[in-house]
Amino acid sequence: MRFLPILILLLLSLEGYTQDTLTLVFAGDVMQHKAQIDAAKQSSGYDYSTYFTHVQKYIESSDIAIANLEVTLAGEPYTGYPQFSAPDELAIALKEAGFDILLTANNHTCDKGKSGVTRTIDMLDSLRILHTGTFRSQAQRDSLYPMIIDVKGFRLAILNYTYGTNGFPTPPSTVVNRIDTVQMATDIAVARAMQPDIIMAGMHWGDEYKLYPNVTQQKLAEFLIRQGVSLIIGSHPHVLQRMERRLATDGSTRNVVLYSLGNYISNMSAKNTDGGVMAHIRLVKDSSGVCIDECSYRFVWTYKPPVNGRKTYTILPIADFERTPDELSPADFKAMTAFVARMRALYDKESTGFTECL
């Protein structure tokens, strides 16, 4: 059939796991500004080994880790904002850190034209990193979308859409999933026909630098929920927005909406853009079906310490480093704690049903 998605098998080790729980971790925008590219440059190639040193244990402890890849892998010359092309070593570092799936539909997808779209796909395929949101052709989309994965007895459908591509047209023959309620309804119906336990949608939406979801985001969230989407994961604002855990009448979790996870790694310095969260979701399966069990989050902050006279980048799990202030300079510790104080105040006011990992 034209719209029949193929089954993608995600092979993960089962050692040490039971078959009735599945843990997911979601990370925000993975970016690569020019300063990051310059910092990673070595005599031969690029080195991103510092990025995930402090968070890798949290990525690897999940069964499935998903992030938003907000750059192309278009090859040289490597460029930062406004038209991104990141070194391939960034994707390698993401894989080595434990990320299983990357979402590729965002406003920078078409930054480098057709070669940017297709080479990104080719590179992720060569590294055996699952991805969705962009496709070499309509025929490839028809065969691969919606993404269906089976992990530990759980069957998941994963969707991904963007509001636009910064005015760049979609290159001929390629497909970039756009936010379109008619197409999304069709895609979700196809996903439902595959009988997944959970349908999730990565949505690249909203207003940049705004701490509150706009009306369009909220209406789209309601639309997706009505269509049968259980997990909504937002990106694009580059700052955090609220998390919602919506309950059914029996007290069980019906839906989760993560309006924006903020920046995971970037060189952005505007207020509230220097960090984000990792969202942790646990699914439980029993004789009655699959339910969303635990929902939590971990604040992260991009730390840029100089090493041998050069700036480096690393993602800090804030709660861990709040307890060890001597590991950061006084100025950096002040900046990190100021960021998390503002974000905790936002979440205390706006978010529902989530707990912070401390």
Tell me what pLDDT residue 247 has. Answer: 80
pLDDT at 38 over 90: yes
At residue 14, the pLDDT reads 41
pLDDT tens for each residue of 316-329: 999 999 989 999 99
User: Of 227, 160, 166, whose CA–CA distance to 193 is shortest?
Assistant: 227
Instruction: For residues 296 and 356, give the distance between their C-alpha atoms in angstroms, rounded to a whole number.
Output: 6
At residue 248, the pLDDT reads 74
Categorize the per-residue pLDDT at 10 as very low, low, confident or very high, splitting at 50, 70 and 90. Answer: very low
pLDDT digit string (tens) for 256-265? 999 999 999 9
- What's the confidence (pLDDT) of residue 13? 42
Please state which of the ranges 10-14, 241-245, 307-311 shows the lowest mean pLDDT. Answer: 10-14
- Size of the chain in residues: 358
- Tokens 């960090």 belong to 275
Taking residues 265-280, what's their average pLDDT? 97
As a whole number, mean pLDDT of residues 13-17 equals 43
Q: pLDDT tens across 66-97, in order?
A: 999 999 999 999 999 999 999 999 999 999 99
Q: What is the 3-state secondary structure of the chain?
A: CCCCCCEEECCCCCCCCCCCEEEEEEEEEECCCHHHHHHHECCCCECCCCCCCCCHHHHHCCCEEEEEECCCCCCCCCECCCCCECCHHHHHHHHHHCCCEEECCCCCCCCCHHHHHHHHHHHHHHCCCEEECEECCHHHHHHHCCEEEEECCEEEEEEEEECCCCCCCCCCCCEECECCHHHHHHHHHHHHHCCCCEEEEEEECCCCCCCCCCHHHHHHHHHHHHHCCCEEEEECCCCEEEEEEEECCCCCEEEEEEEEEEEEECCCCCCCCCEEEEEEEEEEEECCEEEEEEEEEEEEEEECCEECCEECCEEEEHHHHHCCHHHCCHHHHHHHHHHHHHHHHHHHHHCECCEECC
44 or 143: which leads in pLDDT: 143
Q: 59-72 burial string, b = 16+ CB within 10 Å, else e?
A: beebbbbbbbbbbb
The answer, yes or no, to whether residue 252 has pLDDT greater than 80, is no
Mean pLDDT computed over 56-66: 97
pLDDT at 288 over 70: yes
Q: Percentage of residues in the chain with pLDDT exceeding 70?
A: 94
Query: What distance in Å separates the CA atoms of residue 152 and residue 12, rounded to the nearest whole number?
Result: 8
Domains of the chain in sequence order: 7-356 (3.60.21.10)
For range 296-325, the mean pLDDT: 94
pLDDT at 1 over 60: no
